[in-house]
Structure 1
Amino acid sequence: MTALTPSGQTATGQDRATSSLRGVASAEEAKLWLRERGIEDIECMAPDQAGVARGKLMPADKFFGSPTMSIPTSVFAQTITGEYPAEDASFKQDPTDGDILLKPDFSTLAVVPWASDPTAQIIHDAYTRDGRPVDIAPRQLLKRITALYDREGWTPVVAPEMEFYLVKQNKDPDYQLEPPVGRSGRAESGRQSYSIQAVNEFDDLFDDIYDFSEAQGLEIDTLIHEEGAAQMEINLRHGDPLQLADQVFLFKRTIREAALRHNMYATFMAKPMSREPGSAMHIHQSVVDAATGRNIFSNEDGTPSSDFFAFIAGQQKYLPSVMCMLAPYVNSYRRLARGTAAPINVHWGYDNRTVGIRVPNSGPQARRVENRVPSSDANPYLALAASLACGYLGIKEELSPEDPIDGSARHLPFGLPRGLLEALALFEETEELADIFGQRFVSTYRAIKQQEYETFMQVISSWEREYLLLSV
C-alpha cells in the first residue's frame, strides 16, 4: 500500500522509513529507518501479565539476521515478584519450559529517547513453534477479543485515561511515600484538582515527558492535575484498542524514565499513599460499523440504540467477574473505598462520576461508555480486553441494563469484589469468560494471582504491629 506525502505525491517505502516517528510497514523499511537514525541497539520486548516489558536487547546489525527470537514459555506465567505459581488441578506448568517465538510488529518501531546510546524499541507478539498465537500472552488476548468484534462487522474504539503519582524517591519500602518537592521548594499538602499552578511545579519534568512522547510518535490529548498530592492524569486520543494499549504500555515506561531524570518516582500503584485518593485507568468505549463508520450506539435519528444499552448491561453483568484483570493486586482494592472518587458498584448514569459506568455528554456519533472501575496498575492489554469482552457479551446476549442512577451511588451497597480472592473466585466461576478468553488463559491468570496473594500474606503490616503486638 502506498501513502501520500504532504504535497500529495505518492510516498515510497524509503520516504516512510526516513520520515516516520513511529512504525514502518516491513523489515526492509525498518532497515532504512534504523540506518537513517544511526541506531545501534534494539529493545525487543513483549508485555507480560503484569504489563512489564520482557525480552532481549540486541545490536541492530544482528537483529535482521534473526528477527524472530525465542524466550521461555514461563515468561507469561511469572508473578510480579518473579515467582511461579504452584500447580493444581486446573493449572499445569510446561514441564520442559520450552521456547516460544517473539515476532516483531514493525508498526511499533520507535526510538528510545532516554537511552544513552542510539536505541530503538519494537513490541513483539508471541507464537508457538508451529505458528499459533500464544493464548496466554496479553497482547494476543486483546487481539482475540477485537477479532470477535471484527467478525460482527464492528470496530471497537477506546480512549484510556491514566492517573499516576509523582513521589519523592524512596529506597526503603518500609517507609511511607511522600509527595516530591516542586520548583517552589515545597511539597504539596492539600487537594489541587485541575490546578495549573500545581502542574507548573513540575514543568521541567513534563517538558521531558512531552519531548520523549513526541520522539516516540506518542500523542497526549490532555494533562491535568488530579485530586491527590502530586497526582496527575494523562488522557490519550481515541483509537484502535491494540494501538492504544501499546501507547499506555509505552507511556508508563516513558513517565517513569522522565521522573527518574528529575530524582522522583512516578508510580501507577492503585493506592500508593493511605491518605490520598487512588489512581484509576478510566476507559472510554464505543463501537462503530466497520463498513459505514456509524457509531452503533446511536440510531439514525440520534437516539441511543439497543446495542448501546446492551453494552452497558454487559458491563454491569460481567465487570465483577473480570475484576481481577481490572484490579490485579491486593493493593488495587484499597482504592475502592466508600466515600472516595472510586466507584464501588456497577450502576450506571448519564454524566455521573459516582457510578462505575458513566455515559459522558456527547453527540450521537461520539456516544460512548466510560468504564471507571479499572485501576492504574492494570495491564492495559488485559484491562481493554476484559472491558470490551463484557460489552461484547452484553450485545450478543441482548441484555438490558438497570435504570440509570440520577444521584450519588456512593452510599449504595458494594457491587464489586472487596478483595483479590473474591475477584478470582468470580473470574474462575464465570463460564462465559472461559469461552471468550480461553480456558488456558483463565487457569494461568488465576494461578498467577493466587500465588501473588500467598506471597503477600507472608508480609506483616505496620497495622498489625501497631494494634496487635501488645493488645491481643
Structure 2
Amino acid sequence: MPRKKVSQETLESPRGVASFDEAKAWVATRNIDDVECIVPDQSGVARGKLMPASKFFEGRVMNMPESIFYQTISGDYPKLDGLAGLDPADGDLLFRPDFATLCIVPWEEEPTAQVIHDAYHSDGRVVELAPRQVLRRVIKLFENRGWKPVVAPEVEFYLVRPNTDPDYPLEPPIGRSGRPETGRKSFSISAVNEFDPLFDDIYDYSEAQGLEIDTLIHEEGAAQMEINLRHGDPLELADQVFLFKRTIREAALKHNTYATFMAKPIAQEPGSAMHIHQSIVDAKTGRNIFSDADGEPTTEFFSFIAGLQEYLPAAMCMLAPYVNSYRRLARYTAAPINIQWGHDNRTVGLRIPRSKPDARRVENRVPSSDANPYLAIAASLACGWLGIQKGLTPSDPIKGSARDLPYDLPRGLLEAVAAFQECEPMREVFGETFVSVYSALKQEEFETFMRVISPWEREYLLLNV
C-alpha cells in the first residue's frame, strides 16, 4: 500500500507531526543525525536515551526500568517493597514517542531532534505513575463532563553567576554594563537589556522548537525574570514548560550564566513561582463555563475556587515539592501564605484577574517554579474539579491585603506529604499507587536533606550551645 504523501506544511512545521511516516520525512528534510528520546520523571527531569536517527526509525521500542519514576532529585530511591502496582523486579517499561512533541534541539552542534515519550507496561497498559499520564488522568475527568480545561502558566527564574561550590551563596550575574544587578527592578526594560544576547537566544531557541512565549519581563528579584506562555491545552502547556526550562538553562550556559528554577535560590531575594491561570470551556461550544449568558460568574466558577481552597493544602507537595520550596512562602512577600481569593488581588493565593466574561479565569499563585509542570497543573485542576463535583462554596473574597491573615498552607515538606497521604479525595483522583510512591519519594528526599548540616547551624550552634 503506497504511503500517503507528506504535506509541505507538515515538513516545514517547527513542532509536531501526526504519524511515524511524517516524523521520518520531517527528520530527513532536516538531515537529523540523532534523536533524543526523552521522558519527564517525577521531578520534571528529562530522562531517556540518545540514538542515531536511522536506529530510531527502525521501529525499536525504547526500554527503561520502572524505577525512573521513583528516583529522587538526588538520585536515590525510597524503599517500596511490597507496594501494590509496582514490579518488585524493577522490570523494563516500554516507551513510545508522542510525535506531536517532535522538534529540533537548537543548541546542539550536530542536527538533533527531540521527542517526548509515553510509558507503557509490556501488556499495553499505560503507566499511571508517569507524570504525563497523571495529568491526562485529570484532564479525562473534565472530558467526561464534556469540558476542556484551559491553562496558561507563568514561570519565574533567576539568572546567577556560575556556582561550582554549593557551600557558597548564589550571586547575580554580570550584565553588559559590567556590574551585577542590585536593588529591586520590577518590570525594568533596562534590566532586561543587560542580558539581551541571552534573551535573543532564548527566543531563537524557542521559535526553532515551536514554543510560544507570550511575554518576558523582569520580576522583583535581582536578575529574576518571568516568562508567560499563551493559554491552551494543559498537556501541551506542561510539555512547553518542561521544554522551556531546559531551553532557558541551555541558553544561559552558552553565556556563562546559570538559570535556576529553585523556589528560593537567594536568601534575601523573593522566591520564584509558577502561577497557573485556569478556566474551563464547553468542548462542543467553546463557551467558558465560568460565565453565564449574561456574562455573570457561574456556580461552577465559585465551586472551582472553593475546591482550590479546600484541597490545595492536601495537594501542596505537588505544588511545592522540595524543602527549599517552603522558604518561598514567607509573610510580607509576593508569595501567598493562604488560600483566600480576591478580585485582582496579589496578596491572596487565588487571584481573579480583570477580564471579559469569556476570559474569566482563576490564577493559582501557590505553585513554585521548581514544581514538575505536569504534576502542578494536574494538582491544581484536580482541586478545582473536586470543588465542582462536590458543589462547594468559597469563602467571601478578600478586599485589601491578606498578608496579615494566618497561614493556610503547610509550612514544610513533611507536613505537606502527610496531608497528601491523609486526603481520601486525592487518592481517588490520583490513585493509590501514585500517592504512595510520590509520598515515599518526597520523604526520602527529606531524609537526604537532613544529612546536610547548614551554615545556620554552624553559625549559631557551633560555639553557643
Same fold per TM (> 0.5)? yes
| Structure 2 equivalent of residue 173 of structure 1 | 166
The alpha-carbon deviation at position 407 of structure 1 amounts to 1.0
Instruction: Tell me which amino acid in the other structure corresponds to 1:49.
Output: Q
* Helix, strand or coil at the partner of 1:320: coil
Report the Cα offset of residue 95 of structure 1.
Answer: 2.3
Unaligned runs of 5+ in 2: none
Q: Distance in 2 between matches of 1:13 and 1:321?
A: 48
Structure 1 equivalent of residue 374 of structure 2: 381
Alpha-carbon offset, residue 262 of structure 1: 0.3
Query: Are positions 1:339 and 2:332 aligned together?
Result: yes
Match of 2:265 among 246, 264, 272: 272
Q: Tell me the TM-score normalised to structure 1 length.
A: 0.97
Match of 2:318 in 1: 325
Whether contact under 8 Å (1:155, 1:287) holds in the other structure is yes
Q: Secondary structure at the match of 1:43?
A: strand
Which of 441, 449, 453 pairs up with 1:460? Answer: 453
Root mean square deviation, CA, Å: 1.2
Mapped pair 1:112 → 2:90: no
Structure 2 distance, partners of 1:165, 1:228, is 8
- For 1:4, the equivalent position in structure 2 comes to none
Deviation at 1:65, TM superposition (A): 1.1
CA separation of 1:365 and 1:67: change in aligned 2, threshold 3 A: farther
Q: Any residues of structure 2 matched to 1:49-88 within 5 Å, and which?
A: 49-87=42-80
Q: Shift of the alpha carbon at 1:90? A: 5.7
Q: For the Cα contact (< 8 Å) 1:14–1:32, is it kept in 2?
A: no
Structure 2 counterparts to residues 89-238 of structure 1, below 5 A? 94-238=87-231
8 Å Cα contact 2:82-2:88 kept in structure 1: no
| 1:307 and 2:300 aligned | yes
State the shift of 1:91 in Å: 7.3
Q: Does structure 1 conserve the Cα–Cα contact (< 8 Å) formed by 2:80 and 2:437?
A: no
Q: Give the residue type in structure 2 aligned to 1:243.
A: E
Per the normalisation by structure 2, the TM-score is: 0.98
Q: How many residues align?
A: 462
The offset of 1:88, in angstroms, is 6.6
Tell whether the 8 Å contact from 1:168 to 1:179 is kept in structure 2 after alignment: yes
1:245 maps to which residue? 238
| 1:91/1:444 contact within 8 Å kept | no
2:456 aligned with 1:471: no
Match of 2:279 in 1: 286
Please say if residues 68 and 104 of structure 1, whose CA atoms lie closer than 8 Å, have aligned partners that are also in contact.
no
Once residues 338 and 89 of structure 1 are traced to their aligned partners in structure 2, the CA distance between those partners, rounded to angstroms, is: 42
Which one of 11, 15, 20 corresponds to residue 8 of structure 2?
A: 15
What SS does the corresponding residue of 1:189 show, helix, strand or coil?
A: coil
Whether the 8 Å contact between 1:191 and 1:229 is mirrored in structure 2 is yes
What's the CA shift for 1:13?
Answer: 2.4
> Can you list the C-alpha shifts for 1:50-99, whole angstroms capped at 9, x where unaligned?
00001110000010113421110000010000000023786786321101
Whether 1:37 and 2:30 are equivalent positions in the alignment is yes
CA change 1:283–1:67 in 2 (3 A) is: farther
* TM-aligned CA deviation for residue 19 of structure 1: 1.1
Amino acid at match of 2:48: G
SS at 2:63's partner residue? strand
Structure 1: unaligned runs, 5 residues or longer: 1-10
- How many angstroms apart in 1 are the aligned matches of 2:400 and 2:6? 56
Q: Secondary structure at the match of 2:312?
A: helix
